[in-house]
Amino acid sequence: MEETKTKEVAKQPVTVKSLFGREDVQQKFAEMLGKKAQGFIVSVLQIVNSNALLKQADPMSIYNSACIAATLDLPLNNNLGFAYIIPYNQKYQDEKGVWQIKSVAQFQIGAKGFNQLAQRSGQFQTINATDVREGEMKSIDRLSGEMQFVWIQDETERLTKKIVGYISYFKLINGFEKPFYMSVEKLSAHGKKYSKTWGKKGSKWEDDFESMCLKTVIKLNLSKNAPLSIEMQRAINTDQAVINDDKGENVTYADNIQDAEIVDMDKEYERICLMITDCKLLADLDLLQTSNPDIDVALFDKQREILTIKTKK
Q: Are residues 128 and 206 in the same domain?
A: yes
Residue 115, domain member (yes or no): no
Q: Picking from 61-65, 219-223, 241-245, 278-282, which range would have the lowest pLDDT averaged per residue?
A: 278-282
Q: Output the CA–CA distances (angstroms, integers) from residue 103 to 53, 70, 168, 196, 250, in the order listed.
A: 8, 22, 34, 14, 18
- For the beta sheet containing 241-243, the strands, ordered from the edge strand earlier in sequence to the opposite edge, are 83-93, 99-109, 241-243, 251-253
Give the residue from 144, 156, 104, 149 showing the smallest Cα distance to 130: 149
Boundary (domain end) residue, out of 54, 77, 108: 108
Boundary (domain end) residue, out of 65, 85, 108: 108
- Number of H helices and number of E strands within the chain? 16, 9
pLDDT at 295: 67
Q: Are residues 169 and 202 in the same domain?
A: yes
Q: Are residues 217 and 297 in the same domain?
A: no
Structure confidence by residue, pLDDT tens digits, 238-270: 998 889 888 888 888 766 544 344 444 445 556
Q: Are residues 104 and 134 in the same domain?
A: no
Q: Are residues 284 and 203 in the same domain?
A: no
What is the residue range of 137's domain? Answer: 122-226
In the structure, what pLDDT confidence band is assigned to residue 306 with cuts at 50, 70 and 90? confident
Q: Are residues 205 and 276 in the same domain?
A: no
Residue 6, domain member (yes or no): no
pLDDT at 1: 45
Between these two residues, 142 and 93, which has the higher pLDDT value? 142
Residue 261, domain member (yes or no): no
DSSP bridge pairs for 179:
169
Residues near 125 by beta carbon (within 8 Å), at least 6 away in sequence: 171, 172, 173
Q: How far apart are CA 214 and CA 220, in angstroms?
A: 10
Q: Is the pLDDT of residue 226 over 60?
A: yes
Q: Are residues 138 and 188 in the same domain?
A: yes
**3-class DSSP state of 122:** coil
pLDDT, mean of residues 302-313: 78
Q: Is the pLDDT of residue 28 over 90?
A: yes
C-beta of residue 44 within 8 angstroms of C-beta of residue 76: yes
Q: Are residues 19 and 94 in the same domain?
A: yes
Residue 237, domain member (yes or no): no
Q: How far apart are CA 53 and CA 283, in angstroms?
A: 50
Structure confidence by residue, pLDDT tens digits, 167-201: 999 999 999 999 999 999 999 998 888 777 777 76
Structure confidence by residue, pLDDT tens digits, 135-158: 999 988 888 888 999 999 999 999
Alpha helical stretches, state H, 21-135: 23-33, 37-49, 52-55, 59-71, 111-120
Residue 275, domain member (yes or no): yes
Residue 235, domain member (yes or no): no
pTM of the model: 0.73
C-beta of residue 87 within 8 angstroms of C-beta of residue 252: no
Total domains in the fold of the chain: 3
Q: Are residues 63 and 103 in the same domain?
A: yes
Q: Are residues 131 and 188 in the same domain?
A: yes
In the structure, what pLDDT confidence band is assigned to residue 202 with cuts at 50, 70 and 90? low
Q: Are residues 96 and 30 in the same domain?
A: yes
pLDDT at 8: 42
User: Hey, which of 119-133, 246-260, 270-284 has the most confident mean pLDDT?
Assistant: 119-133
pLDDT, mean of residues 263-278: 64
Boundary (domain end) residue, out of 108, 136, 161: 108
